[in-house]
Amino acid sequence: MANTLHDKTVLVVGRAGGIARAIVLLARSQGARVIAAGRDRSKLASAYEDPGISAEAVDLTDDASIAALAERVGSVDHVVSTASARARGNLADLQRGNLQQSFDTKVIGPTMLAKYLSPQINPGGSFVLFSGVHAFKHNVGYLGVGITNGAVDFVTRWLAVELAPIRVNAISPGVIDTGAWDGLGADGKREYFEHIAAGNPVGRIGTPDDIANAVLFAMTNSFMTGMTLKVDGGEPLT
Ligand SMILES: NC(=O)c1ccc[n+]([C@@H]2O[C@H](COP(=O)([O-])OP(=O)(O)OC[C@H]3O[C@@H](n4cnc5c(N)ncnc54)[C@H](OP(=O)(O)O)[C@@H]3O)[C@@H](O)[C@H]2O)c1
């Protein structure tokens, strides 16, 4: 079957919840064998009770860990990286270390994933990276997040050219309730979500399934490469 995930192997880097979990479950429901990889292998292993979903350890800030993952998993069809380490805050509060961690995790890490795994991608395969709405919306407090996500958009296009015919795309989510905003506190989170939903042309914030569906599209549309798909409710437009 062309352009489906039936009998394909999909490697998803991230945590056991949030957007990564929605991608793992959707890919599995479409017939893929799924490898969930992240820093906490035992947590990932216990998160899914399905022999078609296996767990592997990887730290995207460690090249030896990425190379070892590539050796263990062998050939794969699609690689998705959702890992991130956000550097939120105003310029005055930003620390060099936080910015470096953000770039290392979301820009350099996926680039190294592409380096070590691209020789093992089966024909028709792809990489899907993760950018984010603040690459395209410039509001104070998100400089570190925005420049990291902007760099992902660039890396996606560069890799699409260098790795061709392997396809490389990115997804840019808007605000999604994954637990990533829990640091705002219950009231702060509710107020922020209401504020974003009111401004979004679609009138709501997003769900992990909204994003997983876009990842599925990126993996299976064999005519799309070098694109960042904005799945953000239209937030940057308003
Ligand atoms: N949620 C949103 O509103 C939103 C908005 C825009 C963009 N995005 C992007 O969408 C993606 C998924 O978002 P999310 O909210 O589901 O998850 P998230 O909270 O951003 O989780 C990312 C996970 O990446 C893992 N990670 C961090 N450093 C790592 C490393 N060195 N190696 C491997 N894994 C590492 C961590 O899991 P462990 O602690 O288990 O290792 C972390 O929980 C991210 O790239 C995020 O930036 C999300």
pLDDT digits (tens, 9 = 90+) for 100-137: 999 999 999 999 999 999 999 999 999 999 999 999 99
Using the predicted structure, report yes or no on whether residue 229 has a pLDDT greater than 90.
Answer: yes
Count of alpha carbons within 13 angstroms of residue 78, beta-carbon side: 31
Q: State in Å: Cα 82 to ligand 1 middle.
A: 6
Q: State in Å: Cα 15 to ligand 1 middle.
A: 7
Q: State in Å: Cα 1 to ligand 1 middle.
A: 32
- Cβ contact 218:126 at 8 Å: yes
Output the residue whose Cα is nearest ligand 1's atom 40. Answer: 15
Alpha carbon distance 19, 173 (integer Å): 10
- The tens digit of pLDDT for each residue in 166-183 reads 999 999 999 999 999 999
CB atoms within 10 A of CB 76: 18
pTM: 0.98
CB atoms within 10 A of CB 187: 8
Q: What local confidence, expressed as pLDDT, does residue 1 receive? A: 44
Alpha carbon distance 235, 64 (integer Å): 38
- The tens digit of pLDDT for each residue in 6-46 reads 999 999 999 999 999 999 999 999 999 999 999 999 999 99
Residues touching ligand 1 (Cβ under 6 Å) are 13-15, 18-20, 38-40, 58-61, 82-85, 105, 130, 132-133, 173, 175-176, 178, 180
Closest CA to 33 of 122, 164, 111: 122
Using the predicted structure, report yes or no on whether residue 2 has a pLDDT greater than 70.
Answer: no
Q: State in Å: Cα 91 to ligand 1 middle.
A: 22
- For 62, the 3-state DSSP assignment is coil
Q: State in Å: Cα 112 to ligand 1 middle.
A: 17
- The tens digit of pLDDT for each residue in 46-97 reads 999 999 999 999 999 999 999 999 999 999 999 999 999 999 999 999 999 9
